[in-house]
Amino acid sequence: MFKEISAKEINGNLINLISDEWMLISAGDESGYNMMTASWGFLGEMWGNDTAVAVIRPQRYTMQFVDSCDYYALSFYGLNKDIHKICGKLSGRDVNKTELTGLTPVFADNTVYFNEARLVIICKKQYAQEMNKDCFVDKDLLKWYNDKDYHKMIFGKIEKVLVQE
């Protein structure tokens, strides 16, 4: 059962939360949704709001759901990487990730997240922008983009934070 807390009550180091624990980015509704593993992103303050920034490569199937919806969710599952082995390597275009992971979708708060998460952050999109090669000051970072598939950054106002009781 989930309990709502404020974003400032999230326990732990936020950098470790994303880079070490990883997360699922999900968007959509009962008519269609997808989720993907991510280990890059940001949590902080922007425009007077608690904000999460998800970064997604354009070819990811989840991107079409994030683009077409006003909300997305970030969900965390601890250090067990079993779901990430599926959601980070397989495409929802080709397989049913929900069946393969055994996750239980929850359709609430204008998006989809999963009952097995220990932490869920619901975000309302505020700004989206594709990264541009010309904007990289440190050109060594372009090594991450051999296919020129620059991430799209999606800034979301944190609307709700849920933790398992």
CATH topology of domain 2-164: Pnp Oxidase; Chain A (2.30.110)
Q: Determine the pLDDT at residue 38.
A: 97
Please, is 60 exposed, middle or buried when counting C-beta atoms within 10 Å of its C-beta (0-12, 13-18, 19+)?
buried
> Which of the residues in the chain have pLDDT under 50?
none
15 Cβ contact partners less than 8 Å away, ≥ 6 residues apart? none
Task: Enumerate the domain spans of the chain.
Answer: 2-164
Q: What is the pTM of this model?
A: 0.96
pLDDT digits (tens, 9 = 90+) for 89-124: 999 999 999 999 999 999 999 999 999 999 999 999
CA distance 72 to 87: 16
> In terms of Cα–Cα distance, which of 109, 133, 130, 129 is closest to 120?
109
> In terms of Cα–Cα distance, which of 134, 98, 94 is closest to 115?
98
Q: Determine the pLDDT at residue 137.
A: 98
Instruction: Report CA dihedral (76, 81, 83, 85) to the nearest 10 degrees.
Output: 130
